[in-house]
Structure 1
Amino acid sequence: MDFLQLLSCACIVFTLGMFSTGLTDLKKMRASQSAENVQFLPFLTTCLNNLGWLYYGTLKKDGTLVFVNATGSLLQIVFILFYLYYTKERKKSWMQTVVMVCVLFLGRAYFSVAVHEGDAQLAQLGLVCSIFTVSMYLSPLADLLEIIRTRSVERLSFPLTVATFLTSASWTLYGLQLQDFYIMVPNTPGIITSLIRFFLFWNFSPVRQDKPSYKLIQI
């Protein structure tokens, strides 16, 4: 197995592991028969991100991108359906879902009709996917500032931080190996934000470890 194949396997394993953390919310909804205290927008944005990269992987004929993001899209759709079933705010959630579907159709129409096939189409789609991925990685920065203010890491998940770091690092190396900056660059912020989280865990975790001070993932 060469280095690229090894990176491909790492990307698949680590990314699917990160996606599976959503099973915690699914289990919580089933147990409580409610979607209370479960955030809906991360499901939508992750699904939109997966579908964008799935399209990019299809155009690029990259099997790793296609497999990971097809699986991720299906998982996110399952999470969305569960949320829509259990939530009390169905109207708002359905409207947000409709907006996402409209964005997908408009995006697909633009890249299929307005942009010529080939390198230009791949470059524009890669740029859009990259910007969206970077915005997803940077969106929790406000929470990190709040954690610094309160000096408490209870709202952070240490296993999810580890999964995010390994996923971002593997995709960054994969993109570097392929010399595809649209894959490499947007995953770099994931490494940086994960390292910031690790520092917060190290700095704000209590000396006594009778009880974890951070949020655990339960599956």
Structure 2
Amino acid sequence: MVWTLYGLPMVHPHSTLVVTINGTGTAIEIAYIILFLIYSDPQKRLRVLLLVLVEFIFVSILTILVLTLAHTHKERSMIVGIVCFAFNVMMYASPLTVMKLVIYTKSVEYMPFFLSFASFANGLAWTAYALIRFDPFIAVPNAVGALFSIAQLLLYATFYRSTKRQIAARKLSKGVILDMSEVVVAADQEYSKKEVGSAGPHDDGSSATA
């Protein structure tokens, strides 16, 4: 949302691509949030609604303050640009916890390749775009994001094979457990049959006498 604000003509003129691309992205994210709210449980729904409300209030206050207190495009671009810079770095840095998990477990199961690749491509594209007119508020955070994404891709390449081995070992162990459970069930059934066979029909030992 803040990047859409940054691209508006009254804040940062001649930024049609910034406002249209980020505006489209905002619309898609809103659709994701609506779907989440429809299908999530009440506790999670309330938490997400509160976060969305806080973000909406923050962006609204930022918009009002910038448009009323800052009177030049340069001032408005700087204020909103700094906010965008901070949020962009936080967005790209958020997978650092996942990277730590990858190093600890030596598994990339929780770090999808295509997400890391898309993040790298996004950071690279926006950095290239920003260098055309040199917009540091776009160039720097996206360059940092591209570097973070490269680190993720390097981790993926490093631990891809070990992940395959771990998955194969888990499948094998599950297969062994399943086979053992089948053996136990079969043994129980065989024991039950023997019990029934040994009991058989028998008389009660009584006889008629005259």
Q: Which of 79, 90, 96 is equivalent to 2:32?
A: 79
CA distance in 2, matches of 1:54, 1:97: 16
CA distance in 2, matches of 1:178, 1:66: 16
**1:112 paired residue number:** 67
Residue 54 (structure 1) aligned with residue 9 (structure 2): no
**1:134 paired residue number:** 89
Q: Which of 164, 167, 176 is equivalent to 2:119?
A: 164
1:146-203 Cα distance to aligned partner (Å, 9 max, x none): 2101111000110111111111111111111111111100101211111111111111
1:100-155 Cα distance to aligned partner (Å, 9 max, x none): 21112111111112222321111111111111101111122122112101111000
Runs of 4+ in 1 over 6 A off after TM superposition: 207-213
CA distance in 2, matches of 1:64, 1:94: 29
Q: 3-state DSSP class of the match of 1:155?
A: coil
Name the stretch that deviates more: 170-179 or 55-64.
55-64
Question: Against the structure 1 CA distance between its residues 165 and 212, is the aligned structure 2 distance closer, same or farther, given a 3 Å change threshold?
Answer: farther
CA distance in 1, matches of 2:165, 2:16: 45
CA distance in 2, matches of 1:137, 1:158: 15
Give the unaligned 5+ runs of structure 1. 1-50, 214-219
Residue 63 (structure 1) aligned with residue 13 (structure 2): no
Q: CA deviation at 1:91?
A: 2.1
Tell me the matched-pair count: 163
CA distance in 2, matches of 1:208, 1:200: 11
CA distance in 2, matches of 1:212, 1:57: 45
CA distance in 1, matches of 2:109, 2:165: 14
TM-score normalized by the length of structure 2 = 0.72
Q: CA deviation at 1:208?
A: 9.1
Q: Considering Cα pairs closer than 8 Å and 6+ residues apart, tell me whether 1 or 2 has the greater RCO.
A: 1
**1:206 paired residue number:** 161
CA distance in 1, matches of 2:165, 2:100: 26
Percent pairwise identity: 28
Residue 195 (structure 1) aligned with residue 159 (structure 2): no
Structure number, greater radius of gyration = 2
Question: Against the structure 1 CA distance between its residues 142 and 208, is the aligned structure 2 distance closer, same or farther, given a 3 Å change threshold?
Answer: closer
CA distance in 2, matches of 1:55, 1:186: 17
CA distance in 2, matches of 1:153, 1:133: 24
**1:94 paired residue number:** 49
